[in-house]
Structure 1
Amino acid sequence: MASGNPDFATTLARGIDILSCFSAGRPILANKDFAQQTGLSRSAVARLTHTLVALGYLRRMGTPPRYRLGASVLALSYPLLASMQIRQLARPLMKQLADHARGAVSLVVRDRLQMVYVETARSNEALQTRPDIGAALPLLSSAAGKAWLARAPETDRATVLNQLRVADPAYYAAHIETLPAARRDLESKGYCGNNRQWRCDAHGFAAPLSRPYQSLLYVFNCGVPADDGPYRERAADIGPKLVGLARETERLLGMD
């Protein structure tokens, strides 16, 4: 991506790569962990973590040092979340559908090669995966990711799929053949489904907006426990309602 581009700030990109190493399952990392995940040398990692601590994006703990994300990361994300009017407008509608579906209804957007939750409403504590703002979904094996790929312009879809193929060839090969069916489902039904493909304990359904809003293509996602009814029965009930949620949100946003 940066090759041959004189405007690309490599050091900045490496610092962001350090921050991207954290996950809900790994909230504390050491310099050796950053080096393993980014491929950077230990000395380069040490300089980057020192700078990120000084700026408040990392917190240093103990000796030898380990790191947590700092409050500056949260402060940085707040203006983005606060500016997403769609979250406030859609939240009551999402909660209604979550209560009806006995599951979780979320609003997601694409972030590089994954989908990220920006709003969520949950009505079932039995869900083993409990979506939260900022958590990620896989691109090719989740209903939300397939809905984004199915709706995105051809050039955007081709670019993202090529990046995914290079970044994770095994994952790409395992799931790319499901995309044509997802595109057909979106065209004929208005939503995409996912029968335990991402998680064996859940069914997923997703409906995108008809076009981007404020340059982002939003997708509504609904997850329900797999043991709470057959997939086809749940799809026939939840899918059309999810499409209705997307269309009503577009109306509230003045997109219709």
Structure 2
Amino acid sequence: MRKRQSAASEPTSGLEEDEEDRQFIQVLARAMDILRAFTAEDSVLGNQELAERTGLPKATVSRLTYTMTKLGQLSYLPRFAKYQLGLGLVPLGQLALDNLAIRQVAAPLMRHLAEETNASVSLGSRDGLSMLYIEHFSPRTAVALQLRIGSRVPLGLTAMGRAYYAVATDAERAALDARFALAEPERWPMIQQGLQEAREMHAALGFTISVGDWNRTVHAAGAAFALSTGGIVAVNCGAPAFMLSRERILQEIGPRLAAVTQRIETLAGLRH
């Protein structure tokens, strides 16, 4: 059984419930766990670090990293005896982003919102118990949040993740609840309360908030909507806490983000 990761950094695929499925290929899932362990903040990792992050035996990790290096999915750095994501992934990643038409629709509105509010604006979707940034715009300021495309933030504690949860189906929310309770048993009551409050706020106001819940120095608002393909994307607008008070989030940033999100939906043909 794999060692569980915290909800804030869990890189695993989130398919542990399928381990008894005969159609489920474990070795492929483990290889994906290796890839998800790399983040924009931790782009170079060794076998020991990968083992700790994935919960896989180090011997298994060593075989996987060797094979994935041969295939170009990883690059080995002899000087550090560590790995980074390989160039072989670049075409696949770019193709995946190009296929997300919602990025093209959302980008101009996100950029404008970032410039007007002097805050960072990002578009993301769920990856396990995290939200993965698929588009990002920073304001022209030295104090912008240091996040970018490919960054992951915890679903349960961020405005973006809470917005995603608020729009998810009952079945998906129930599955997420079960995973959070297992991955974060001690913090689950606190996470659950935040998620339930987010559902109510998003239904009433069209946005959610996170005021220092993930990072005490970061305040943000989030809004989400369902795609015609069945997926969900979320948009957030955040900045360092000293620039973005709770009052400003509730009175200005949240309502503006909700309006921008609705405009994206309309332009994408998802709202009439």
> TM-score per shorter chain, which class?
over 0.9
63 and 96 in structure 1: CA distance in 2 versus 1, 3 angstrom threshold: closer
Q: What is the CA-CA distance between 1:32 and the residue it aligns to?
A: 2.3
Equivalent-residue separation in structure 1 for 2:135 and 2:189 (angstroms)? 30
- The aligned counterpart of 2:252 is 237
Q: Which runs of 5+ in 1 are unaligned?
A: none
Aligned residue type for 1:238: I
Does the 8 A contact of 1:103 with 1:127 survive in 2?
no
- The aligned counterpart of 1:174 is 190
TM-score in terms of structure 2 length: 0.87
Which deviates more from structure 2 when the two are superposed, residues 17-26 or residues 147-156?
17-26
Aligned residue type for 1:179: L
Deviations along 1:133-166, one digit per CA (max 9) or x if unpaired, are 1101111110111111111111111101211221
1:115 alignment partner, SS class: strand
Q: What is the CA-CA distance between 1:40 and the residue it aligns to?
A: 2.8
Equivalent-residue separation in structure 1 for 2:261 and 2:79 (angstroms)? 50
2:27 alignment partner, SS class: helix
- The aligned counterpart of 2:84 is 68
1:125 alignment partner, SS class: coil
Report 1:160-239 matches (<5 A): 160-209=176-225, 211-239=226-254
Report 1:134-149 matches (<5 A): 134-149=150-165
2:125 alignment partner, SS class: strand
1:119 alignment partner, SS class: strand
Does the 8 A contact of 2:219 with 2:244 survive in 1?
no
Equivalent-residue separation in structure 2 for 1:103 and 1:17 (angstroms)? 32
Deviations along 1:101-122, one digit per CA (max 9) or x if unpaired, are 1101111111111111111111
Give the count of matched residue pairs. 255
Equivalent-residue separation in structure 1 for 2:36 and 2:231 (angstroms)? 21
Does the 8 A contact of 1:57 with 1:72 survive in 2?
yes
TM-score in terms of structure 1 length: 0.92
For the aligned residue pairs, the C-alpha RMSD in angstroms reads: 1.8
Aligned residue type for 1:175: I
Does the 8 A contact of 1:196 with 1:226 survive in 2?
yes
Match for residue 88 of structure 1 among 104, 108, 119: 104
1:106 alignment partner, SS class: strand
List, as ranges, runs of 4+ consecutive aligned residues in structure 1 with deviation greater than 6 Å: none
Q: Which runs of 5+ in 2 are unaligned?
A: 1-16
Which deviates more from structure 2 when the two are superposed, residues 130-139 or residues 220-229?
220-229
Equivalent-residue separation in structure 2 for 1:39 and 1:202 (angstroms)? 30
Equivalent-residue separation in structure 2 for 1:41 and 1:183 (angstroms)? 39
Which deviates more from structure 2 when the two are superposed, residues 29-38 or residues 234-243?
29-38
- Identity level (%): 31
Equivalent-residue separation in structure 2 for 1:161 and 1:247 (angstroms)? 27
189 and 250 in structure 1: CA distance in 2 versus 1, 3 angstrom threshold: same
Tell whether 2:65 aligns with 1:46.
no
Equivalent-residue separation in structure 1 for 2:147 and 2:48 (angstroms)? 29
Deviations along 1:57-112, one digit per CA (max 9) or x if unpaired, are 11112178421110122222111100111111111111111112110111111111
Higher relative contact order (CA 8 A, sep 6+): 2
1:68 alignment partner, SS class: strand
Tell whether 2:262 aligns with 1:247.
yes
- The aligned counterpart of 1:36 is 52
Does the 8 A contact of 1:27 with 1:69 survive in 2?
yes
Q: What is the CA-CA distance between 1:124 and the residue it aligns to?
A: 4.6
Does the 8 A contact of 2:45 with 2:82 survive in 1?
yes
Q: What is the CA-CA distance between 1:237 and the residue it aligns to?
A: 0.9
- The aligned counterpart of 1:18 is 34
- The aligned counterpart of 2:4 is none
Equivalent-residue separation in structure 1 for 2:58 and 2:151 (angstroms)? 28
